[in-house]
Chain A
């Protein structure tokens, strides 16, 4: 074997560099997003009615689809009201329904979206709730 020492040394450096991100992050669990629901509108609701349009798990997985369906239903099918699976009625509106309750967009929608690296383009047109810049 020629130059075994150099090759092994090189390999070691290579391994060290490649695995750097892993041991650099050991112990630093990147925080799971915790969307905050402590907005005035939600606080106003009685404790046992602090619920979303649909159950939390459904909202978490399907809210994008739901918003899509809402906008088609409102803009293209002349509807206005959504009847939830619990039989509650909601005005189908991004600005006037979702964002009235979730008026803390930065601490709620954005928390998750930044973590997941999704950037909905809705806000180029739809007006976001006013928030204190924090």
Chain B
């Protein structure tokens, strides 16, 4: 069979087109299998671009703090070592002077000077802990939560040195021996000796459409949690209507936890559904 140059070029051209076409068709098919990746988000999950929290201090008495702390620590199997040196804390309290250092002065209201403030991980927009972690065990999720992957933590404690808020605790001892069996939350893991832990804004609850445990346990309107990127969210409303301060803003870590300090009567009280 003989073939002239023109015929050869025709056949070559057509088969090139067919080849390219089938390549793109094939990759399209592959895309489809990608779409059906076996991992999905729960449709109930709470979503945000940047989670944040407003703490209205005037809503809390010391008993309320105690309750919130206990609920959080029970939910997450946080041990009680009965020894402040080894203490593990996800959420805790401290005085004005220690919470907002440099902002106290001798003429401020006695009530504020003496009262306690609720502290937890600030889930900073620019977290120092994430930058220093050598294993990426601590990282920033796309919803702004600074997460700690316990499976990767090697216990180097760089993050503890980096965090200016003392939000991280190290397990100097085996925590399992200090969680009473009847207090164990069997739905959530504990930790082991030699890892660092901290508040996660309850990622495991957000994933199934629940508010963080502290928010549920707090007095009405005491903890307002929501999307700081959404101008209509409760947090944004609270931020718009109240003068709020953050811890150590001068360090530039951009905390996502805000405090309403004064006992002003106009603090927003969102209806709990």
Contact = CB atoms under 8 A, between A and B. Distances in A.
Interface residues of A, number: 25
B186 A127 contact: yes
Contacts of A129: 186
B189 A89 contact: no
Interface stretch (B9-17, B32-40, B118-126, B246-254): B32-40
A107 B40 CA distance: 32
A69 B77 CA distance: 24
Given A71-B151, A75-B149, A81 B189 contact: no
A92 interface: yes
A89 B188 CA distance: 20
B163 to A, nearest CB: 20
Interface string B120-142: 00000000000000000001011
Contacts of B147: 75-76
A108 to B, nearest CB: 18
Contacts of B189: 94-95, 125-127
A92 B176 CA distance: 24
A76 B149 contact: yes
Contacts of B40: 79-83, 89
A81 B39 contact: yes
Interface string A94-106: 1110000000000
A95 B45 CA distance: 20
A80 B143 CA distance: 15
A80 B149 contact: no
Interface in A26-79: 69, 71, 73-79
A114 interface: no
B191 interface: yes
B243 to A, nearest CB: 33
B39 A77 contact: yes
A124 interface: yes
B111 interface: no
A80 B208 contact: yes
Contacts of B149: 75-76
B207 interface: yes
Contact of B142 (A71, A78, A124): A78
B186 A78 contact: no
A61 B147 CA distance: 31
A67 to B, nearest CB: 11
A76 B39 CA distance: 12
B48 to A, nearest CB: 11
Interface string B142-153: 110001011100
Nearest to A89: B40
A74 B45 CA distance: 12
Interface string B28-50: 00000000101111100100000
Contact of B41 (A75, A78, A127): A78
Which of the listed residues A71, A75, A92, A94 has the most CB atoms from chain B within 10 Å of its own CB? A75
A58 B8 CA distance: 51
Interface in B214-241: none
Given A78-B142, A80-B45, A95-B187, A73 B151 contact: no
B70 interface: no
A99 to B, nearest CB: 9
Interface in B160-212: 176, 184, 186-192, 203, 207-208
Q: 6 nearest interchain CB pairs?
A: A80-B42, A124-B192, A79-B39, A81-B40, A73-B39, A80-B207
Interface of A: 69, 71, 73-85, 89, 92, 94-96, 124-127, 129
Given A80-B40, A92-B39, A127-B189, 4 more contacts: A78-B141, A78-B203, A95-B188, A125-B189
